[in-house]
Chain A
Amino acid sequence: MAKLDAKIPKGPIKDKWTNHKNHINVVNPANKRLIDVIVVGTGLAGGSAAASLAEMGYNVKSFCFQDSPRRAHSIAAQGGINAAKNYQNDGDSTYRLFYDTVKGGDYRSREANVYRLAEVSTNIIDQCVAQGVPFAREYGGLLDNRSFGGVLVSRTFYAKGQTGQQLLLGAYSAMSRQIGKGKIKMYNRHEMMDLVIVDGKARGIISRNLITGEIARHSAHAVVIASGGYGNVFFLSTNAMGSNTSAAWKIHKKGAFFANPCYTQIHPTCIPRSGDYQSKLTLMSESLRNDGRIWVPKNMKDVEAIRAGRIKPIDIKAEDRDYYLERRYPAFGNLVPRDVASRAAKERCDAGYGVNATGEAVYLDFASAIMRYGKEKAIIIHEPKASEARIQELGKKVIEDKYGNLFQMYEKITDDNPYETPMQIYPAVHYTMGGVWVDYNLMTTIPGCYAAGEANFSDHGANRLGASALMQGLADGYFVLPYTIGDYLASDIRTGEVSTSSPEFDEAEKAVKDRLNFFINNKGTKSVDHFHKRLGKVMWDKVGMSRNAQGLKEASDEIRIIKEEFWKDVMVPGDLNEFNQELEKAGRVADFLELGELFAKDALNRNESCGGHFREESVEPDGEQKGEAKRDDINFKYTAAWEWKGDSKDAELHKEELTFNDIELKQRSYK
């Protein structure tokens, strides 16, 4: 257990962070100029960290594989960002945000980290407004809030459905300023290929210039990994095509423990797959569930008729529809948390009631909401005798005002008009709560190597609440890492510039080149995507929304087979020293194959159901909650941190016991 010291400061939870900041070491401004920090990834966490560190005076080298730091996938976040500002006077507080986040994470996160997150959440909003982020405002000119993700207060700040974009562009602006000043050296279209460790400390990386193929060495006094999540291990997800786990996986293989890989968030409202050519899935904001009712037909003959195109969903009478969320969870209905809604959809589709050709879709129906809003509106505009058609017209207008851009996006993609016919939705992989294990200072188990944002595991436990990812990324990058990294770097001021001509750099560079050469020279018969799709299918079928021991064992075996075939038969066209997208993908999929296996291993180990991780063996046996997820706090109240031992199957488990001093553990119920 010595290896897993979370370094949680002593004292009452509300004072931990302040006390910690008061007592950690700081680097004097003159010395900061002599210190180099590498930041991999330019999303909310990486971008904000790079900008803040550069402002403080460190020399930052920032890396992204995209053509510009502004394209990191944080940009796609829709809903909003939580902060305990209590602007709405509805009783919000740091404690309440902390409590909601720990509970939402199904009591599998580290209390001290979550409290700090809630504490700095308010600073984020101040900082972003000062940067010119155009949050939504009320007519009085003050910031607007909305409620999100079923919590009881309105604490979500937003910029229409593009909050992630606006926050990221804010961080990108801050970065741009430092790039202009020369304090950040930006490496666009560069991929981190490996971490270099010298004398037990992270001292640099090997990068590949994606345009020229040039392999280069970069030294630093600390390395920050902010490369996002690993949802693309499922091939299909709401992640960007390029989102990958490689940077995180490289440091894992160099000694950083990987925590809770099985904690994956499957988002219930995504546009279903339309065919085998599908390359990615598109999220429809969770807010739609506030007004949409989810159903499938009750009778199999209607399902068949719909699939054959003989009838339309609107032809099915109300009594022949199964509003299964309302049936199973009368208290929360369509507003149950993401993991519950997703599993319920899978249950119906597995039973054969899926409503499209692939059998993987359920309806999200706005007809009731249209009528309800229409009637309300008719009263407001003094048309008590409005006809049904008029009420519908009024109702559609209300729905358009609320969700117009989402409805339009849906129609562009599917060619169906959701005002007239129910939307089809299905769950999709969206976010990964697991990630690189970090201590309270966000340092991994490798000294000098940090992980921030979705790449680390720290704050969301087994399930993430809506509008919390943006909060965590920016908290890590703006307000946590810039302080905690100084504590480590303070002892490094006499090191001087780190040389790249050391045996460690030689070795790392050689390993990178060997692997790239292997891909180019392998001349197999199958494309990288072929293997990625196969991996994704195994992950989705057996390590997806619902998992059992047998399936997980099978998955491990199957992934091993795919991995072996991959290394034998993968074909990477083109050359080493050129822009070669297949070569990029090959390296990433090779890492996903290893991660997938660890993922299954972790899921097998965790024989409980918690948050996004549902084990069929661990359900409530009887009573009102019969069949619902059952958490096992006696045996599994720990973070599973895996140490690399040469192969995913040999990974060694380390446990960080979670202690809850400020929150009482409870079973979640939505009945």
Chain B
Amino acid sequence: MTKNGMNLTLKVWRQKSDKDKGQIETYQVNDISEHMSFLEMMDTMNEQLISAGKEPVAFDHDCREGICGSCSLFINGEAHGPDRGVTTCQLHMRKFKDGDTIYIEPWRSKAFPVIKDLVVDRTGFDRIMSAGGFISVNTSGNTQDANSIPIAKDDADHAFDAATCIGCGACVATCKNASAMLFVSAKVSQLALLPQGKIEAKDRVLNMVEQMDAEGFGSCTNTGACEVECPKGISLDNIARMNREFMGASITSDK
């Protein structure tokens, strides 16, 4: 522990359940080390609440190394806080200073209803995936050899870049329209770039976009905020590619 930790005022969204209205409550935490991760600061706050006989603040978190996509806080007006290229669990307290007031809110979107406090329901993403985020190939010990179809390194690399999306929902949280285009386009792009995925590319993009709209996500107006706040740096290229794929499929598909 450092001797001179920070004292912080936390403005935290509290909401008992999806039926509750919810409000911001203020908590004070003291002697916070700059080496702590943001979630460890939240742990400290919760330990404090528990000892005071109060209910701790619920928030999603799991791997705490920036890859599972569970953590999801809107910190001081930005998804995953003020740092770039990190998730909340990778955000460290050295980004704040003594005496700061920090707003901590859940992702806000009609499609991500609050479950409790800072925890939201992101199953809409799962449903979009079920609508088409896959290649229809059954498990088989007799698929063709992995090297039978060479894939241009650039295509493979771009597919990989798109595939690094962790499904955290920061794009939706950040977008002024709560649009899920970056998430959906990352999966559409990944699979559209690979020869294996091209076979059902048309149906995929149409079905995934249809489900995306049904979930209540907003539309893309190209503000580019999602790309800036995405902890994995998923590019707007993917959205453009999905727009292309979608237009092409809409015009040429039989359905």
Contact = CB atoms under 8 A, between A and B. Distances in A.
Complex contact flag A–B (Cβ < 8 Å): yes
A279 B43 contact: yes
Contact of A274 (B33, B66, B157): B33
A135 B36 CA distance: 34
B242 interface: no
Contacts of A138: 153
A527 B47 contact: yes
Category for how many chain B residues contact A = 35 or more
Interface string A409-447: 100111100000000000000000000000000000000
B218 to A, nearest CB: 21
Interface in B116-144: 116, 119, 121-123, 125-126, 129-141, 143-144
A70 interface: yes
Interface string B14-54: 00110000000000000001111101100110010011011
B156 A573 contact: no
Contact of B68 (A75, A142, A143, A573): A75
A288 to B, nearest CB: 16
B106 interface: no
Which of A67, A176, A573 gathers most chain B CB within 10 Å? A67
Contacts of A160: 160
Interface in A60-118: 66-71, 73, 75-76, 85, 87
Interface in A478-503: 478-479, 482
B45 to A, nearest CB: 11
Contacts of A381: none
Given A71-B70, A125-B146, A140-B150, A177 B159 contact: no
A55 B139 contact: yes
A434 B32 CA distance: 38
B130 A180 contact: yes
A529 B47 contact: yes
B156 A134 contact: yes
A131 B199 CA distance: 12
A627 interface: no
Contact of A126 (B86, B94, B132, B143): B143
Contacts of B70: 66-67, 71
Contacts of B213: none
A52 B190 CA distance: 22
A412 B37 CA distance: 10
Interface string B109-120: 000000110010
Interface stretch (B55-63, B96-104, B221-229, B247-255): B55-63
Interface string A39-69: 0000000001001100100000000001111
Contacts of A219: none
A127 B143 contact: yes
A278 B153 contact: no
A55 B130 CA distance: 14
Interface string B230-254: 0000000000000000000000000
A279 B51 contact: no
Contact of A479 (B39, B55, B141, B160): B141
Contacts, number: 225
A276 interface: yes
Contact of A578 (B16, B164, B191): B16
Interface string B203-233: 0000000000000000000000000000000
A510 interface: no
Contacts of B191: 132
Contact of B167 (A68, A142, A582): A68
Contact of A51 (B86, B90, B139): B139
A141 B151 contact: yes
A280 B136 contact: no
Interface in B75-97: 83, 85-86, 90, 92, 94
A453 to B, nearest CB: 16
Interface string A131-170: 1101111111111000000000000000110100110010
A67 B123 contact: yes
B126 A581 contact: no
A162 B122 contact: no
A126 B147 CA distance: 8
Contacts of B126: 68-70, 176, 179, 186, 188
A579 B47 contact: no
Contacts of A141: 150-153, 156
A159 B153 CA distance: 12
A573 B145 contact: no
14 contacts: A127-B140, A130-B137, A134-B159, A137-B157, A176-B133, A177-B130, A188-B126, A277-B43, A412-B83, A412-B90, A413-B92, A527-B51, A573-B56, A581-B56
Interface of B: 1, 16-17, 33-37, 39-40, 43-44, 47, 50-51, 53-56, 58, 60-70, 83, 85-86, 90, 92, 94, 115-116, 119, 121-123, 125-126, 129-141, 143-147, 150-153, 156-157, 159-160, 163-164, 166-167, 190-191, 194, 196-197
Q: A-B pairs with the 10 shortest C-beta distances?
A: A141-B150, A180-B130, A173-B134, A134-B160, A176-B129, A52-B139, A129-B146, A579-B116, A134-B159, A177-B134
